[in-house]
Amino acid sequence: MKLFVGLGNPGAQYAFNRHNVGFMALDVMAAAHGFSAWRKRFQGLTSEGRLGGEQVMLLKPQTFMNESGRSAGEAARFYKIPVNNVVAFHDELDLAPGKVRVKIGGGVAGHNGLKSLTAHLGNDYMRVRIGIGHPGHRERVVGHVLRDFAKSDMDWLEPVLSAMSDAAPLLAKGEKDRFQTQVAQETRNDAQSETD
């Protein structure tokens, strides 16, 4: 079984925050791939289904971002899911809006959700980094990530979430490079068709 963890904060007031793009990615995936209804477990919300023949559990921790690892750790221990079968979806300040990069391990770059996951799981999980852009100054970062996506952001956000959902079976099979390539191609094609 694979564990896909979306990072975000629980509650309606945070639902459209840039910091919650990990939750958004899982919501689109669950709907598109016919996953089970969300239910409360492991201090989070879970939904189960199959991607590319692989059994996958989606998890949205309800512990707040800086304690996400408590929820993910509980689910991983219960199902005996090794850290290399865990994939975290999160916002990334150091990538341009709409860019998606995948890596295994590495630093947490001050991201409290990743810091918590690493503390509870170890460091060798896969990270799907979803670019939200940087506000330019360090002191503006908190306001930037905790602010809702602008209406104009939907032009790139919706195609990116959709492309990640389409390519999710590749991720479930561990084919991170093919996943990244497919997302880039799909979003490039969307942008192309809009300019044609």
pLDDT digits (tens, 9 = 90+) for 69-105: 999 999 999 999 999 999 999 999 999 999 999 999 9
* pLDDT tens column, 114-173: 999 999 999 999 999 999 999 999 899 999 999 999 999 999 999 999 999 999 999 999
Kindly list the distances between the CA atom of residue 141 and the CA atoms of 104, 110, 129, in Å, as whole numbers in the listed order: 24, 11, 17
Residue from 19, 33, 90, 144 carrying the catalytic annotation: 19
CATH number of the structural domain 2-195: 3.40.50.1470
Looking at residues 99-112, what average pLDDT do you find? 92
pTM exceeds 0.75, yes or no:
yes
Is 19 considered catalytic here?
A: yes
CA angle 79, 81, 86 (to 5 degrees): 130
pLDDT band at 190 (very low <50, low <70, confident <90, very high): low
CA angle 16, 18, 19 (to 5 degrees): 105
